[in-house]
Amino acid sequence: METILGIKGKNFVMLAADCTQAHSIIAMKQDENKIHKISNNLAIATIGESGDTDQFTEYISKNIALYKMRNGYDLGPKAAAHFTRKNLADYLRSRTPYHVNMFVAGYDEKEGSELHYIDYLANAKSLNYGGQGYGGLFCASIFDRYHYPDITQDEAYEVLRKCVIEIQKRLIINLPNFKVAIIDKDGVKYLEDITSKNLS
């Protein structure tokens, strides 16, 4: 029922995630932040079982911080995505698998911007744009139509806005608030939330 979206530009990646925390048919809260800052130029958006998402994201975050302490430099976004995928694959083959879907997004001066799709079966793919969750099903055609390699930050935000409008119009589940973050050479920054109030 949750939704995360990601779009990559030439020198940035933008993520959007709904803020609804639900248990079965009950909405527990509407201000959950599902986009986690991992390092200066790396963020992960996660959806799935609520305990699993928190625990797995924390585990990845602390291990990437440990890597920096030991080696004196951060993992690049591509290496961080491979590390995350490998750990998810290892846990999948254990007695305690994590049910987590995510986007690993980051910016590196050498590699540029990176957006990686990873699902709970540890499938991983580098993308220019994508969505996960039921809401992501409505966004593929919007991304196809409006994304181009030199897309600007303002245009990317507008594309995400169009996606949220479509999700709120067509999905039976109520997802009123979406948190938006951008990762570029200046680090991870949160932009204005996309809400049902500022869409009208």
Over the stretch 87-140, which tens digit does the pLDDT of each residue have? 999 999 999 999 999 999 999 988 899 999 999 999 999 999 999 999 999 999
Do 83 and 64 touch, CB atoms closer than 8 A?
yes
Domain boundaries, the chain: 4-199
Burial pattern 157-194, b for ≥16 Cβ within 10 A else e, equals bebbbbbbbbbbeebebebbbbbbbbbbeeebeeeebb
Q: What is the mean pLDDT of the chain?
A: 92
Tell how strand 42-48 and strand 100-108 pair up: antiparallel
| Cα dihedral sign, 61-103-159-10 | positive
CA distance 165 to 67: 40
Nearest to 18 by CA among 3, 5, 36: 3
For the stretch 137-184, pLDDT in tens is 999 999 999 999 999 999 999 999 999 999 999 988 888 899 999 999
CATH classification for the domain delimited by 4-199, as one of 1.10.3720.10, 3.60.20.10, 3.20.20.70, 3.40.50.1980: 3.60.20.10
Token pair 């409505």 in the structure block, residue:
138
| 3-class secondary structure, 16 | strand
- pTM of the entire structure? 0.92
| 3-class secondary structure, 137 | helix
Using CA atoms of 147, 196, 190, 192 in order, give the dihedral in degrees to the nearest 10: 90
Do 183 and 15 touch, CB atoms closer than 8 A?
yes
For the stretch 47-90, pLDDT in tens is 998 889 999 999 999 999 999 999 988 889 999 999 999 999 99
- The alpha carbon of 104 is separated from its chain's Cα centroid by a whole number of angstroms, namely 6
Do 121 and 15 touch, CB atoms closer than 8 A?
no
